[in-house]
Amino acid sequence: MWISVVVAAGTLLALIAISLLIPPLLPLVLCGAGFISARIYNGQAVQPLTAAGGARLGWMTGFWMFLAFAIMCAVTALAVNSPEIWEQAKSVYAQLPQASKLANLSPHDFLMQLLVEVPLFFFLVTLLPGLGGMLGAKLSRKRP
pLDDT tens for residues 72-121? 888 888 888 888 887 887 787 777 777 667 777 788 888 888 888 889 98
Residue 45: predicted pLDDT: 77
pLDDT at residue 10 is higher than 90: no
What count of Cα atoms within 13 Å lies in the side-chain half-sphere of residue 16?
16
DSSP string, the chain: -HHHHHHHHHHHHHHHHHHHHSGGGHHHHHHHHHHHHHHHHHHH-SSPPPHHHHHHHHHHHHHHHHHHHHHHHHHHHHHHTSHHHHHHHHHHHHH-STTGGGGGS-HHHHHHHHHHHHHHHHHHHHHHHHHHHHHHHHHTPPP-
User: Rounded to an integer, what distance in angstroms lies between the CA atom of residue 16 and that of residue 22?
Assistant: 10
Band (pLDDT 50/70/90 cuts) for residue 17 is low
Taking only the tens place, the pLDDT of each residue in 37-75 is 888 888 777 788 899 999 999 999 999 888 888 888 888
- The residues, any chain, with a CB within 8 Å of residue 94's CB and separated by 6 or more, are 100, 103
Band (pLDDT 50/70/90 cuts) for residue 15 is low
Band (pLDDT 50/70/90 cuts) for residue 18 is low
Closest CA to 37 of 53, 21, 23, 20: 53
